[in-house]
Chain A
Amino acid sequence: MIEGTLAIVLNTLTIIIITFVIANVAVSIVASLMTQSFLTIQVQSRKVALWLLITMPWLTSIGVALFFLNGYLSSKAFEAETEFAHWHHMAVFSWSTWHGATLIIALVFSCFILGKKFVQLKQHHHNLKSLTHFAKPLTDNVFEIDMPKASAFTAGFIHKKCYVTSGMLKEMTEAEVEVVLAHEKAHAKNNDPLKKWLFSLFAAFFIPSLATRLKLHMTLAMEQAADNAVVNDKLTPTFVAITLVRVARLNALYSPIKSNELVASFGADVLDQRIYFLLGQLTLKPVNKWMTLILVIFILAASMSSIDGLHHFVEIVFSH
């Protein structure tokens, strides 16, 4: 049995984990219900809403834990067991209870997710470094890769670099290449590679199907923002749109067309949405701030009030 400060720390961590699970379920329900309405939100607002959703379990769990801790330390709020939210034994912790098991499982799971993500990051860094060795610098932070397949992408967290294949440079006109490079530079300016990785890190704590959907919405928002950044007096939205279709055609030459898989319909939706966006055929509205506030309060209240209920419910099955 652990008592004192260490017990308070371990109990606080347990509260964080339990709140995280409850908030995660609540966010998952909200996100599943809202998934189609994301497409009607303005790009910038959509990005903010997605970041809020994906970080909500973390913010809620830390907020609730601090609230409980403050309640315990100040010894004013939540002393009685009948209160709205409380924790019975803040200064006592035992590893041989379900609290201990919860803490260990959460720790192992978090280490697994973080380890996997950092291994991926390391591999990506090595591959990118190797690819850069085979690339030829064109201009500042723009590299040409000798490859017949048309492709262009931006990578790197701190030193962001844009890559374009010789196949793309050969197959496309000067103006089309200008569109592609301006699009890639917009990704670099927006720090999209880093943001994508961070988003996928937070998404890894959600159920995979929902995580995929949220990442798809974030990808679409980033692509639309980069498409929009390209448009100017010379490069019209219709020209950017036709360039996008042209690149899709070039890619289709080298990749077998998939039509029945889930990924295929995702891809199709994304291209459609990008073209409709460029042609001004989408009626996009700013996010409803009041509705967002109500949802945040709902998730916070649901998480806070469920702690005690869940605590008692689990103890029907397991010994304390």
Chain B
Amino acid sequence: MQIGELEKLVLQYLWKHDCADVKAVFTHFEKIRGGSLNTYQSTLDRLYKKELLSRHKVGNAFQYYPKVERQDLIGQLIQSVTSDFISDEENSLIAAFSSMSKDCNEEQLNRLEALIEVQREKLSQGK
């Protein structure tokens, strides 16, 4: 999913205001960054097609609502970017500090911590 700079700004506006029509969005952004009513209409349409917004008609205009929360969207993006390269269906393009470490269990982590502690003690005694 590709989200452009203007799309991000419009999403942030809607996360803050819960719902708005194109006129409200245009009035807000016209002062900050210019652009025409059509620009914001097509931005809202694109976000709707990407299933990031929902809408329903009130009178002649659509009211737009955020369909996903900010944290959920960022979480989805991180998930898709960081999916590990071990599995075939997933991406393979990142290098992560915690690569695969989420699959460890409590017992294993305790054992490793104890091992590191023993090593630390050995080193401090050797000094």
Contacts and interface: CB of A to CB of B under 8 A. Distances in A.
Interface stretch (B19-27, B28-36, B59-67, B114-122): B114-122
B117 to A, nearest CB: 9
Contacts of B101: 244, 247-248, 251, 267, 270-271
A4 interface: no
A258 B87 CA distance: 15
A200 interface: yes
Range class of the B interface residue count = 35 or more
B56 interface: no
Contacts, number: 188
A131 interface: yes
B74 A267 contact: no
How would you classify the secondary structure of chain A's contact residues: helix, strand, loop or mixed?
Answer: helix
Interface in B70-125: 70-71, 73-75, 77-78, 80-82, 84-88, 91-106, 108-109, 112-113, 115-116, 119-120, 123
Give the residue among B95, B96, B98, B109 with the most A Cβ atoms within 10 A.
B95
B1 interface: yes
Contacts of A196: 85, 92-95
A242 B74 contact: no
Interface in A56-71: none
B81 A128 contact: yes
B97 A247 contact: yes
B38 interface: no
Interface residues of A, number: 71
Contacts of A147: 71, 74-75, 78
B2 A215 contact: no
A235 interface: no
Interface stretch (A81-89, A101-109, A218-226): A218-226
A244 B85 CA distance: 20
A247 B1 CA distance: 28
B58 to A, nearest CB: 30
A171 to B, nearest CB: 12
Interface of B: 1-5, 8, 70-71, 73-75, 77-78, 80-82, 84-88, 91-106, 108-109, 112-113, 115-116, 119-120, 123
Given A223-B95, A238-B116, A248-B101, 16 more contacts: A124-B80, A127-B81, A130-B2, A133-B3, A133-B8, A147-B75, A151-B82, A154-B94, A155-B81, A155-B95, A187-B95, A200-B85, A212-B86, A242-B113, A252-B105, A266-B86
